[in-house]
C-alpha cells in the first residue's frame, strides 16, 4: 500500500466520521430511521387491502402478476429499496452541493486528498444506516406479518444489497456531480426519485408496465435490486439462480461509478476554470 | 380588520412571488403528487384488477373508478400538505432565513402572517389539485361527475379546520429545534388516516376512531360520495355537521395555542434563533 | 411623520432581562423536576432616557447586553423586571402601538427576501406596517431615495452588495414614517465606504427630526454620530454623557502608547512610569515586549520622563504613539478592558 493510498483511506474514514457526527446532532432525524421503514410501506399495505376488498379473485390476480401472494413482503421490500435510494440522493447525492453552498467545498479541494474521497466519502457512514433500515424492514415483516425469513435467506439478501452498492452509490455520485454543475437540488431529487418510483416496480410487478416501460425499467439498477430481494426473501431463490440479474447489477454499478468519476473530473475542471467552486 | 387582512394577503402574495421564481418547484407542485403517490398507487391497484376491473375497490369503497378515487384523495392530501409545510413549517423557513423577526417588528399580528402563508399554500394546492383532477380525467379515465361541485363547500370547511390545526402545528414548529421529522411524520399520518389513499375501513378497528376525529376524513369522503357515488362512512348530513363543528372549534383552539407559544417566545427571546 | 404626545422618546426604568442557561428536557418537565438551570442577567438594571430628536448611542463590547436591551424596546423580548415606555407607550402592555410608530434595524441583509426585488420587499413590508394603500407608493419611493437605492429598486436583492442590503434594511425601517428608529449595530460587516454612507443616512434622519437609538461596538462611530452615549458593560450602564463629556472623565487630553523592550525589571519600570503619569491605564506583555498606555494632560511633558524611567531601568523604548483621548480609552478606564476584547 502506497503512502498516498493509506492517507486516502484515512481521509475516507475521516469523511465518514464527519457525516456520522453531523447526523448525530439531529437526534429527531434518527426517529425517522425507525418510523419511515415501517410507516411508508404500511400505508401501501392498507392500500392493497382496499384494492383487494376481501375478494379472493383480486388477491389471486395479484399473486399471478407479482409471483407471490405475500403482499406485505412485496411492498415492504419495494419501499425499502426506495428509501435506500432516497437516502443516497439526499445524502451523498447532495453532499457536494451542500459543501458548495456552505462555502467549504473549496477548502476540501485544496487538500491533497483524492477526489474519490470527496465524492464517495459520505457514502461510507451511510451504508450502516442503510443496513439498519433493511434490518427494521425485515424485523417488521417477521414480527408484524409473520413472513418467514430464514437466516440463510437473510444472508442472501445481504449479498444482494452488497452487489447493489456500486450501482446505487454510483448513481448517487453521478447525481452529486450533476447537482454540483447545475445547482438545482430539491426539485432534481424529487424528479429522480419519481422516475425510480414509477419505473422500478417499487409498488407493483414490472409486468404491469407497457413494453417501453419494461425496457426502461430493465436499464435501472434499482429494478434488479428490488426484484432480487423479493426473490430471495419471498420465493426462497438462491443467488446462483439470480446470477444473470446480479451480474447485470454489478456491471451497471461499475459503469455508473466509472461514469461518475469521469463526469466529476470534468465538472471540477470546469469549476476551476470558471471559478464556480465557491459560487452558488 | 382591513389592514390585517391586507397584511395577510401581502404575505400570501409574497410567498407566491417567491415560488414563481423557482419554476422547477412550481412544476413539481403538480408532478410530485403524480409520480410520488398517484402513479405508484394506480399501478399497485392495477395489479389487483380482474378482467380489467377494480372489483376489490368496488367491494371496499363502492366504486371501480380507481383513478377517480385516488385523484380525489389527492385533492385533500394536497390540502394537508399545504397546511403542514407551507403554513406551519413556513415559520421555520422564515426563522432560518432571518426574516421572522422583522415581520414581528411590524404592527401586523403574528397570527395574521401565518394565515397569509396558509392562504398562499392553499391557493397553490387548489390550483395543483385542479390540474391533477383534469389529468386524471383526460389521461387516466377518471369519471368524475359534475356533482363534485356540491362537495366544494366541504373542502372550504375542511380548509378552515385545517387552518386551526395548522396554528397548533406552527406552535410546535416554533419551539422545536429540528421540526422536520415531526412535520413529515404527522403530515403523512394525518393524510393516511384521512383516507386519502385507501378506505379507512381497512384499518384495524382500534385505529378507526382516530380517523373520525379528523375533519379531512369527512372532506375526502364527501368529495368521493358526490363525485363517484362511493359508500359514505356516515350519513352525509352527519358528515356535513361534523365539518361545521370542526371548523368552529379548531380555529379557536389552534389560535389559542399559537398565541400562548408566541408569547412564550417573546419572554424567552427565541424569535431570532434557528 | 406625525409626532405623538410630548415626553421622552424612550424611558426605561430598572430594565432587567434574565435568561436560563442550558436546556430542560421533556423528561424533566414531565417529571416536574425543579428547574436547576443557571440564570444569568443579560441586562441588569438599565435606566435610560432618550430625548426626542437626538441620536443616542449605546456603546459596549459584544455580550454587554446592547442587543437584548434593543429587543426589549422593540417589543421582541419581554423584560423580566422593570418598565419601558417608547413614545409614551408601555412595551409590554401596548406593543402594537409601539410597533406602529417605530422602525428598527435589528438584523442584517439576511432578513430580506433575496428572491424578491427591493421594491417587492418594501411593498410586502409596507402592508405589514399598515401603510395606507394610498400612501404606499410615495412612502416606498421616499424610503428608497433616502437610502439612495432608487436606481436599483427593481433588482433582486440576491444581486445586491452587503452595503446595499443593509441600506435596504434601513429603508424598510423607514416605511412606517417612524418617529423613532432603533439601529442595532447597523454597520457591522460593512466596508469603510459603505459604513460612511450609512452614517450619513443616519445623520439625515436626525435632520428630519427623528430620534435614533443606535448600538455599536465601534467607538469612532459612536463618537462621530451620537449626541449622547451610554457605555454598557455586563448588562449595566457604566457611564452616560455626551462624547466630549465622557472623554473629560479621564482627566486627560492625550493618550500615550509605549512599546518597551523590557527585561526582568517590569515591576520597577512600571512603578517609575506610574509615578511619572499618575496612573497606568493599561499594561500587558505582547510578543516579548511591554505595552503600556497612559492618559496624560500633556504628552510633551510625559514622554521625556518615560525615557528617563526606561534608561534608569536599562530598558529601551521601541515605539511611542500619541493620540487624542477616545471613547475606547474611556471604556478601558471604566472597565479595565478594551472594547474589542
CA distance linking residue A41 with residue A27, whole number of Å: 23
**β-strand C282-286 against C289-296: which pairing, if any?**
antiparallel
Picking from B43, B46, B60, the nearest residue to A50 by CB comes out as B60
CA distance A177 to A99: 12
Does the pLDDT of residue B55 top 70, yes or no?
A: yes
Share of chain B above pLDDT 90, in %: 81
CA distance B168 to B255: 7
Facing residue for B56 by CB, picked from A31, A51, A195:
A51
pLDDT higher than threshold 70 for residue A108: no
B contact test, residue of C93, C125, C128 with most B CBs within 10 A: C128
Residues of B in contact with C186 (CB under 8 A): none
Give the pairing of strands C10-21 and C81-86: antiparallel
Give the torsion sign (CA, C137, C140, C141, C142).
positive
* Stronger pLDDT, C138 or A146, i.e. the higher one: C138
Please state, in angstroms and rounded to a whole number, the distance separating the CA atoms of residues B243 and B248: 9
Q: Is C122 helix (H, G, I), strand (E, B) or coil?
A: helix
Top-confidence residue, B273 or A259: A259
Residues of A in contact with B35 (CB under 8 A): 191, 193-195, 197-198
Q: Which secondary structure element, helix H or strand E, spans residue A49, and what is its range?
A: helix A27-52
Chain A partners within 8 Å of B31 (Cβ): 190-191, 194
Cα separation, B97 vs B274, whole angstroms? 9
* A102 pLDDT higher than 70: no
d(C-alpha B7, C-alpha B1), whole Å: 10
Q: Which residues is C58 bridged to in the sheet? A: C215, C230
Instruction: Report which DSSP code applies to C158.
Output: G
Cβ contacts (< 8 Å) between B106 and chain C: which residues? 99, 125, 128-130, 176
**For chain A, counts of helices (H) and of strands (E):** 12, 0
Considering CB atoms only, which of C71, C127, C169 is closest to B7? C127
pLDDT in tens, A202-215: 999 999 999 999 99
Please indicate if any CB of chain A lies within 8 Å of the CB of B194: no
CB-based contacts of A265, cutoff 8 Å, min separation 6: A115
Enumerate the residues of chain A whose CB falls inside 8 A of the CB of residue B41.
44, 47, 203
pLDDT at position B149 = 85
Q: What is the ipTM of this complex?
A: 0.92
**Partner-chain contact B185 A47, CB within 8 Å:** no
- Give the B window 70-99 contacts with C, CB below 8 Å: 97-99
d(C-alpha B257, C-alpha B61), whole Å: 37
pLDDT at position B274 over 50:
no
Q: Count of CB contacts below 8 A, B vs C?
A: 96
Half-sphere exposure of A102 (CA within 13 A, CB side): 10
Do A44 and B44 count as a contact with CB atoms less than 8 A apart? yes
Surface of B (60-119) touching A: CB under 8 A:
60-61, 66
Neighbours of chain A (3+ CB pairs under 8 A): B
Q: CA-to-CA distance for B76 and B37, rounded, in angstroms? A: 13
Q: What is the pLDDT of residue B239?
A: 96
> Which among C320, C315, C317, C339 is positioned nearest to C328, based on CA atoms?
C339
Residue A171, phi-psi category: left (phi > 0), alpha (psi -120 to 50), beta (remainder) = alpha
Length of chain B counted residue by residue? 274
Q: What is the CA radius of gyration of chain B?
A: 19
**Which residue from B28, B181, B203 is facing A28, i.e. has the nearest CB?**
B181
**3 state SS for A107-140:** HHHCCCCCHHHHHHHHHHHHHHHHHHHHHHHHHH
Q: Tell me the C-alpha distance between B156 and C68, whole Å.
A: 43
Residues of chain B neighbouring A202 (CB-CB closer than 8 A): 40
3-class secondary-structure state, position A245: helix
Q: Which residues of B touch C112 (CB under 8 A)?
A: 99
Q: Please report which helix (H) or strand (E) contains residue A228, including its range.
A: helix A221-234
Contact A187 B28 (CB under 8 A): yes
Which range has highest mean pLDDT (B19-33, B242-256, B258-272, C163-177)? B242-256
- Cell numbers for C179, please give them: 418617529
The grid coordinates listed for B33 are 403528487
**Which chain A residues have any C-beta within 8 angstroms of a chain B C-beta?**
26, 28-29, 31-32, 35, 39-40, 43-44, 46-55, 57-59, 61-62, 65-66, 75, 184, 186-188, 190-191, 193-195, 197-198, 202-205, 208-209
By C-alpha distance, the chain C residue nearest B10 is C124
Q: How far apart are CA C96 and CA C80, in angstroms?
A: 19
Question: Which one of B14, B108, B268 has the shortest CB-CB distance to C116?
Answer: B14
HEC string of A7-48? Answer: HHHHHHHHHHHHHHHHHHCCHHHHHHHHHHHHHHHHHHHHHH
> Which secondary-structure segment (H or E) carries A164?
helix A151-182
The pLDDT assigned to A209 comes to 92
pLDDT of residue C327: 85
pLDDT by residue (tens digit) across B125-182? 999 999 999 999 999 999 987 778 888 899 999 999 999 999 999 999 998 878 888 9
Q: Which pLDDT tens digit goes with each residue over A39-61?
A: 999 999 999 999 999 999 999 99
Is the minimum CB–CB distance between B205 and chain A shorter than 8 Å? no
Three-state DSSP string of chain B:
CHHHHHHHHHHHHHHHHHHHCCHHHHHHHHHHHHHHHHHHHHHHHHCCCECCECHHHHHHHCCCCHHHHHHHHHHHHHHHHHHHHHHHHHHHHHHHHCCHHHHHCCCCCHHHHHHHHHHHHHHHHHHHHHHHHHHHHHHHCCCCCHHHHHHHHHHHHHHHHHHHHHHHHHHHHHHCCCCHHHHHHHHHHHHHHCCCCCCHHHCCCCCHHHHCCCHHHHHHHHHHHHHHCCCCCCCHHHHHHHHHHHHHHHHHHHHHHHHHHHHHHHHHCCCCCC
* Cell numbers describing residue B266: 417573546
Sort out which chain B residues have CB atoms less than 8 A from A61's CB and list them: 47-50
Provide the pLDDT for residue B3.
Answer: 92
Model confidence, pTM: 0.81
What's the mean pLDDT when you consider all of chain B? Answer: 92
Cell of A107: 477548502
| Nearest residue to C119 via CA among C148, C147, C144, C145 | C144
Please report, rounded to a whole number, the percentage of residues in chain A having pLDDT higher than 90. 38
Distance between CA atoms of residues A29 and A37, nearest Å = 13
**pLDDT higher than threshold 70 for residue A104:** no
Question: Quick check: A55 and B50 CB within 8 A?
Answer: yes
- From A138, A101, A104, select the one nearest A230 (Cα to Cα): A138
Among the partner-chain residues A55, A65, A205, the one whose CB lies closest to the CB of B56 is A55
Q: Looking at beta carbons, which residues of chain C come within 8 Å of B99?
A: 111-113
Q: Which of A51, A59, A61, A195 to mutate to test the interface with B (most CBs of B within 10 A)?
A: A51
pLDDT band at B121 (very low <50, low <70, confident <90, very high): very high
Amino acid at each position: 500500500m502506497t503512502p498516498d493510498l493509506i492517507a486516502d483511506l484515512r481521509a475516507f474514514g475521516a469523511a465518514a466520521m464527519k457525516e456520522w457526527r453531523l447526523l448525530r446532532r439531529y437526534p429527531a432525524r434518527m426517529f425517522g430511521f425507525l418510523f419511515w421503514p415501517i410507516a411508508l410501506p404500511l400505508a401501501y399495505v392498507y392500500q392493497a387491502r382496499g384494492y383487494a376488498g376481501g375478494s379472493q379473485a383480486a388477491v389471486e390476480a395479484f399473486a399471478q402478476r407479482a409471483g407471490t401472494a405475500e403482499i406485505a413482503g412485496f411492498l415492504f421490500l419495494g419501499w425499502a429499496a426506495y428509501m435506500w435510494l432516497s437516502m443516497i440522493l439526499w445524502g451523498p447525492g447532495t453532499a457536494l452541493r451542500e459543501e458548495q453552498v456552505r462555502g467549504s467545498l473549496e477548502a476540501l479541494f485544496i487538500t491533497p486528498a483524492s477526489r474519490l474521497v470527496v465524492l464517495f466519502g459520505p457514502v461510507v457512514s451511510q451504508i450502516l444506516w442503510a443496513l439498519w433500515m433493511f434490518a427494521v424492514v425485515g424485523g417488521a415483516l417477521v414480527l408484524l406479518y409473520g413472513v418467514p425469513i430464514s437466516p440463510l435467506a437473510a444472508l442472501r439478501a445481504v449479498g444482494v444489497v452488497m452487489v447493489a452498492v456500486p450501482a446505487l452509490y454510483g448513481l448517487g455520485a453521478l447525481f452529486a456531480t450533476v447537482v454540483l454543475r447545475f445547482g438545482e437540488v430539491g426539485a432534481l431529487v424529487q424528479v429522480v426519485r419519481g422516475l425510480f418510483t414509477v419505473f422500478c416496480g417499487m409498488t407493483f410487478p414490472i409486468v404491469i408496465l407497457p413494453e417501453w416501460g419494461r425496457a426502461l425499467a430493465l436499464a435501472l439498477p434499482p429494478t434488479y435490486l428490488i426484484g432480487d430481494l423479493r426473490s430471495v426473501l419471498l420465493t426462497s431463490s438462491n443467488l446462483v439462480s439470480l446470477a444473470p440479474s446480479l451480474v447485470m447489477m454489478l456491471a451497471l454499478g461499475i459503469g455508473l461509478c466509472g461514469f461518475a468519476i469521469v463526469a466529476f473530473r470534468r465538472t471540477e475542471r470546469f469549476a476551476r476554470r470558471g471559478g464556480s467552486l465557491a459560487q452558488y | 380588520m382591513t389592514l390585517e387582512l391586507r397584511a395577510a394577503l401581502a404575505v400570501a402574495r409574497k410567498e407566491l412571488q417567491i415560488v414563481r421564481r423557482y419554476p422547477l418547484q412550481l412544476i413539481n407542485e403538480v408532478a410530485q403528487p403524480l409520480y410520488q403517490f398517484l402513479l405508484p398507487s394506480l399501478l399497485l391497484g392495477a395489479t389487483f384488477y380482474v378482467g380489467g376491473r377494480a372489483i376489490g375497490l368496488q367491494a371496499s369503497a363502492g366504486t371501480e373508478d380507481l383513478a377517480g378515487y385516488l385523484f380525489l384523495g389527492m385533492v385533500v392530501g394536497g390540502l394537508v400538505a399545504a397546511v403542514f409545510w407551507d403554513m406551519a413549517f413556513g415559520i421555520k423557513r422564515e426563522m432560518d432565513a432571518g426574516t421572522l423577526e422583522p415581520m414581528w417588528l411590524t404592527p401586523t399580528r403574528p397570527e395574521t402572517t401565518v394565515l397569509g402563508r396558509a392562504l398562499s399554500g392553499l391557493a397553490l394546492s387548489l390550483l395543483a389539485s385542479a390540474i391533477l383532477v383534469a389529468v386524471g380525467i383526460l389521461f387516466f379515465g377518471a369519471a368524475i361527475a359534475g356533482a363534485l361541485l356540491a362537495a366544494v363547500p366541504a373542502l372550504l370547511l375542511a380548509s378552515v379546520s385545517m387552518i386551526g390545526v395548522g396554528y397548533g402545528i406552527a406552535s410546535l414548529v416554533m419551539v422545536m429545534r429540528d421540526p422536520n421529522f415531526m412535520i413529515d411524520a404527522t403530515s403523512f399520518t394525518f393524510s393516511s388516516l384521512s383516507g386519502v389513499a385507501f378506505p379507512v375501513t381497512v384499518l384495524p378497528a382500534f385505529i378507526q376512531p382516530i380517523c373520525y376525529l379528523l375533519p379531512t376524513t369527512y372532506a375526502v369522503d364527501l368529495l368521493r360520495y358526490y363525485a363517484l357515488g362511493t359508500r359514505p362512512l356516515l350519513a352525509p348530513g352527519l358528515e356535513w355537521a361534523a365539518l361545521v363543528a370542526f371548523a368552529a372549534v379548531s380555529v379557536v383552539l389552534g389560535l389559542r395555542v399559537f398565541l400562548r407559544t408566541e408569547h412564550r417566545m417573546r419572554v424567552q427571546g427565541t424569535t431570532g434563533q434557528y | 411623520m406625525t409626532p405623538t404626545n410630548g415626553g421622552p422618546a424612550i424611558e426605561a426604568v430598572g430594565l432587567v432581562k434574565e435568561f436560563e442557561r442550558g436546556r430542560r428536557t421533556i423528561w424533566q418537565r414531565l417529571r416536574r423536576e425543579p428547574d436547576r438551570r443557571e440564570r444569568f442577567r443579560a441586562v441588569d438594571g438599565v435606566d435610560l432616557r432618550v430625548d426626542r430628536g437626538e441620536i443616542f448611542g449605546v456603546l459596549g463590547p459584544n455580550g454587554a447586553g446592547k442587543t437584548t436591551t434593543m429587543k426589549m424596546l422593540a417589543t421582541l423580548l419581554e423584560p423580566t423586571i422593570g418598565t419601558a415606555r417608547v413614545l409614551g407607550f408601555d412595551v409590554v402592555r401596548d406593543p402594537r402601538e409601539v410597533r406602529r410608530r417605530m422602525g428598527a434595524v435589528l438584523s442584517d441583509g439576511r432578513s430580506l427576501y433575496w428572491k424578491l426585488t427591493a421594491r417587492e420587499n418594501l411593498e410586502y413590508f409596507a402592508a405589514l406596517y399598515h401603510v395606507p394603500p394610498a400612501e404606499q407608493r410615495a412612502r416606498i419611493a421616499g424610503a428608497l431615495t433616502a437610502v439612495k437605492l432608487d436606481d436599483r429598486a427593481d433588482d433582486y436583492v440576491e444581486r445586491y452588495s452587503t452595503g446595499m442590503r443593509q441600506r435596504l434594511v434601513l429603508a424598510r425601517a423607514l416605511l412606517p414614517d417612524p418617529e423613532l428608529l432603533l439601529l442595532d449595530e447597523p454597520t457591522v460587516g460593512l466596508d469603510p465606504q459603505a459604513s460612511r454612507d450609512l452614517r450619513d443616512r443616519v445623520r439625515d434622519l436626525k435632520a428630519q427630526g427623528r430620534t435614533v437609538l443606535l448600538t455599536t461596538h465601534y467607538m469612532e462611530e459612536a463618537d462621530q454620530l451620537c449626541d449622547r452615549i451610554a457605555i454598557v458593560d455586563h448588562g449595566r450602564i457604566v457611564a452616560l454623557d455626551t462624547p466630549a463629556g465622557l472623554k473629560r472623565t479621564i482627566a486627560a487630553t492625550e493618550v500615550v502608547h509605549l512599546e518597551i523592550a523590557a527585561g526582568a525589571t517590569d515591576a520597577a519600570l512600571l512603578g517609575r512610569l506610574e509615578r511619572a503619569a499618575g496612573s497606568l491605564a493599561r499594561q500587558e506583555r505582547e510578543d516579548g515586549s511591554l505595552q503600556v498606555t497612559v492618559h496624560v494632560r500633556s504628552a510633551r511633558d510625559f514622554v521625556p520622563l518615560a525615557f528617563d524611567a526606561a534608561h534608569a531601568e536599562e530598558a529601551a523604548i521601541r515605539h511611542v504613539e500619541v493620540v487624542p483621548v477616545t471613547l475606547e480609552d474611556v471604556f478601558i478606564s471604566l472597565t479595565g478592558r478594551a472594547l474589542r476584547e
